[in-house]
Every structure is written in structure tokens, then in C-alpha cells.
Chain A
Amino acid sequence: MKILVVDDEEDVQPLFLQRFRKEIKNHELEFDFAQSGEEALDYLKDKHSEVVLILSDINMPGMSGIELLTHIREDFPTPPPPVVMMITAYGDEENYKQAMDKGADDFLTKPLDFNLLKEKLKTL
């Protein structure tokens, strides 16, 4: 299962790779990373059919996570559409509502609870 993680913080990458070390080793999961909404859209142009889950930060310079979400829902409607989970440090009602309105499947807050995330992945 291919997962795209979108976050402007570079150190998110080793974190995911280590947290899912076993799953990656056993080829259960595969991770790709983008550091901005623009980069993520570029990546999806070719590989949207491969990507099952997109985890995206909301607060990023340039294109925000919400904008990225809107683009994903508009540009890649072909079924099955990727599951999109939004992640933010601002875990407030407004952010949550906005994300859900724009078509997010789930909403996670930073700091990420990786055990919870693993549980959620099992249900996919």
C-alpha cells in the first residue's frame, strides 16, 4: 500500500520511515514524500492510481493542505479516490470542519499518535 506524506518539515520523513520500519521491511507499506502542496500535485499527476492514502499537513507555505485537498478531489475523481487524512497542529473546530467540508476522510492532530495511525491503517 502506497502512502504519500505531505509536510514542509523534512524531518517528518525519517520519522515515518522508522516508525513503520517493520511494515516497510515486510513490504506491507511503501512511503513517498512531498514537501509542499505543489510538489504533491506534481507527484500525483503520474502516480495517483498507485497512491492509496495521502497524509497531508494543513499549514504549509504556499499551497495549504486544504487547497491541496480541494485539488485532489477535483483532479482525481476517478474511483477509487485516494483516502486523504489531514494533519494539523491547530486541532480546532474550524480547521476540522473546513477539512471535512472539502472532502477529507479523517483529521489528525500533531503531535501524531502513530499507534492510532497504525490502527486506522488496518481498517483501510
Chain B
Amino acid sequence: MTFFTYAALFLLAIRLRRAIKLSPITAKWNAPLYGIALATIGVAFLLDDLLPNAEIEGIVIALVLLGVVEFLKREPDFKRFHVLINAHYPLIAAVILSNIVALISIKFYKKYDDYFQAAQLAAFGWIFLRVATSKKQQSELKRISERKDELEILVAERTVEITKQRNELQETVKELQSTQAQLIQQEKLASLGELTAGIAHEIQNPLNFVNNFSEVSMELIEEMEEEMAKGDMEEATAIANDIKQNLEKIRHHGKRADGIVKGMLQHSRASSNVKEPTNLNTIADEYFRLAYHGLRAKDKSFNADLVTNFDPALPSINIVSQDVGRVLLNMFTNAFYAVHQKQKTIGGDFKPRVEVSTRTIKTPKGSEVEIVVKDNGSGIPDAIKDKIMQPFFTTKPAGEGTGLGLSLSYDIIVKAHKGHININSKEGEGSEFIITLPIA
């Protein structure tokens, strides 16, 4: 019966060797396993000669098998083959038990040797059964691992696709952001374009005065010299006074032009976002006239009543003046546009009128400055009232408005300055834009 044990040991080595063929551990284990197989044959001859009887030989070879099994079980490389390796325990147990029994009482053994042999045979057969199971398991595992590989490839492909899409989206977001920045810049330039004519007019006036007053002063000096030659010092002094006043006027109008140019530069420049104490009356007045002359320059037939009700005691407030100026310009341009539209449609006796007022109001939260821009123009139809603050919404013909004016105004007043914009409007009767800014 010892033959089965040798066979089991030999087959174990051979099977493992075949099973690991073409796997990463082949190089490491090919030779040792081959060695075990060959050694098994050697040991079979050796033990047969060396040991006194078959029982001892049986036990020894069973222990060798046990040693090999235990060794293989401890090798992580053979983890996959535990089913095969463990299948040898019944054989080892059966062989050792049978032989020990035979050693102790040969009579007893002989009496039941059929059972002992059957047990060993069954244990040997068990190994084959387990081998079959193991093979099946192995192929199952292989199938699963192949499927897993397929899935992993699929996942990798999807991941690449998703990453690509995400990158594309990020690109798009970046593009949109830069487009938005461009649009804001465009809106600024568009409003500057609207201002240009107004600015030209506003600068031309003081320049005319500068020229006229300097010319007349030159004439006056000649006259003064004549009077002095005549000895009429009284008249000469009067003329000198006039000249002095003229020089003051030249200075005044020079400064006026200077202020307009500075304001224009400030308007087109990117906002500094620095809040500085500002007198709203001053910038409201400046932009009110610029907006008016801007529209007038485009359409000479246009005329409107400009009414200002500025609270002289209005406190200075901390604002980014270019930004708030831009909002006011937008409000004025809209107001003039509205009255102009109405004038064009009804004409006749309609008196376009745009009014700007400022005042301080007390609220439970503290004081606020209120600016009201009121017109008697065409008004805002109810249907579009909740849309006018949306970006790109415009009622102007294509190419005339960016649709960003009120939306930017909202951002500037509400988001950046913690203020409010309220609108009262009745279609056909006019609109009122009320801006409030906190005094902080």
C-alpha cells in the first residue's frame, strides 16, 4: 500500500508544476517541484532497501508527504492550490493509522486489513476527486479573473472618457468665464461709446470758454494800455479787474475739461474695486449731463427736461465710484431712451422729462442714501418686469443694447455695495428706479 503514498507525493509535485506553467512563479518553482517528483522515486528505492519493514516505510513516507504538504501550505505562491494540497491529509492519516495499527497488533490489522486498505484507497481516490474539483475551481477563478480584467479595461475606458468630458467641461467653463469678462468689457466700451458724443460736447464748451476768454483778455490788455497812456487810471483798473476775472474763468473752465477727461478715463478703466468716500451728487450730476448729450449727439431732434433735486446735505458714502457711476449712467441712458421712444411714438405735445433726486433716509438698520431716477417715458410692460434684470435681456433692436446694463447694475449695487434697486413702473406713464446704498 506504500505505493499510493509515493504516487500521491509524485503526482502532487507534477500537478503543481503543470498548474503553475506560464505563470509568474514558474521560474521559482519549476525546478524544486521537479526535484520533489524525482526525489520521490529515489526515496522509494532507498527506503525500500534501508528500512526493516513496510510499516515503518509507510509511516516515514507519509511523514515526508506531510512535511511537503505543510511546507507548500505555508508558501503564499500556492495559496490557490490549497484545495489540492489539503486533499492529502486523509491519505496521510489513513496511511499512518493503518501502519501504526499494523505495528501494534498485526493480528488485529490482518483481521480488518480490508477496511484499512479500503480506507487508504478511498483517501487516495479522494485526492483525485479534489483535484477535479480544484481544476474546476481554477478554471472558474480564471474565468472570473478574465471577466474582471475585461471589466477593468471597460472601467479604464470609461474613466478616460469621463476625464476627457470633465476636462472639456472645465475648458468650456473657462471659455465662458473669459467670454463673460469680455462682455463686461464690451458693455463698458459700449457705454463709453454712448458717452463719447456727450464727452465731446462737454469738453468743447469749456474749451470754447478758455479760447474766448483768453482772446478777449488779450484785447483788454491792449485797451488797458491805451487807457494807461491816456492817463485814465480808473478805467485801466476796471479793465485789469475784468482781466483778472477772465483768468479765473479760464482756470475754472480748464479744470472743468480736466475733470471730464479724468472721469472718462476712469469710466473705461478696469474697476479698482476700492471704495472711497464719494459725493453721489457730483457723479450723478456729471453722468446725467453726459448721458443726455450722448443721446442728443445721436439724435439732434431729441430734447428733454433735466430736473435735479440734489440734497445738499447728502453725506459722502464709501463706494467704488466708477462702478456706481456706471450704474447711474445706465439708469440715465435707459430713462432718456424711454422718453425718447415715447416722444417718437406719440410726438406732439409730449414733454420728455427725466428727474434725478438724492436724499438721506432713516431705516431701522441705519441711514441710507437714496437716488431716484424718474422718467415720464414709455414705462416697462408688466410682462417683462421680472426679466429686465436678467443678463442679455434687452428690448432694444439687435446691436443697440448688450442686455447687460441692468444685470451689471444689480451686481454692483446689490452684491458689491449691499444696496437695493427697486423699480416702479407703469406702462405708458413712466418708470422710477430707486437705488439705496447704506451709509457705513
Contact residue among B223, B293, B297 (Cβ-Cβ distance under 8 Å from A21): B223
Contact B300 A95 (CB under 8 A): yes
Q: Which of A14, A61, A64 meets B249, CB within 8 Å? A: A14
Contact A61-B300, Cβ < 8 Å, known A18-B220, A18-B242, A110-B208? no
Given A18-B216, A61-B306, verify A89-B246 contact (CB < 8 Å): no
Are B300 and A15 neighbours in the complex by a CB distance under 8 Å? no
B271 at interface by CB-CB < 8 Å? no
CB pair B305 A62 closer than 8 Å: yes
Q: How many A-B residue pairs have CB under 8 A?
A: 59
Determine if B205 and A9 form an interchain contact, defined as CB atoms under 8 angstroms apart: yes
Count contacts on A: residues with CB < 8 A to the other chain: 23
The range of chain B's interface size is 20 to 34
The reply to whether A92 and B300 contact each other, CB–CB distance below 8 Å, is yes
A29 at the A/B interface (Cβ < 8 Å)? no
User: What does the 1/0 interface line of B208-223 toward A look like (CB < 8 Å)?
Assistant: 1101110110011001
Q: Which residues of B (289-319) have their CB < 8 Å from a CB of A?
A: 292-293, 296-297, 300-301, 303-306
Chain A residue at minimum C-beta to C-beta distance from B207: A111
Q: Is residue A76 contacting chain B, with contact meaning CB distance below 8 A?
A: no
Whether, in the assembled complex, A32 has its beta carbon less than 8 Å from a beta carbon of chain B, the answer is no
Contacts of A15 in B (CB 8 A): 209, 212-213, 216
Chain B CB within 10 Å, residue with most, of A22, A64, A92: A64
Other 6 A-B pairs with CB < 8 A, given A61-B305, A89-B201:
A11-B249, A14-B242, A61-B306, A62-B305, A89-B208, A92-B300
Q: Which 3 A-B pairs have the closest CB atoms?
A: A111-B208, A64-B303, A61-B306
> Would you list 7 pairs from A and B whose C-beta atoms are within 8 A, ordered by A residue?
A11-B209, A15-B209, A21-B223, A61-B304, A98-B300, A111-B207, A111-B208
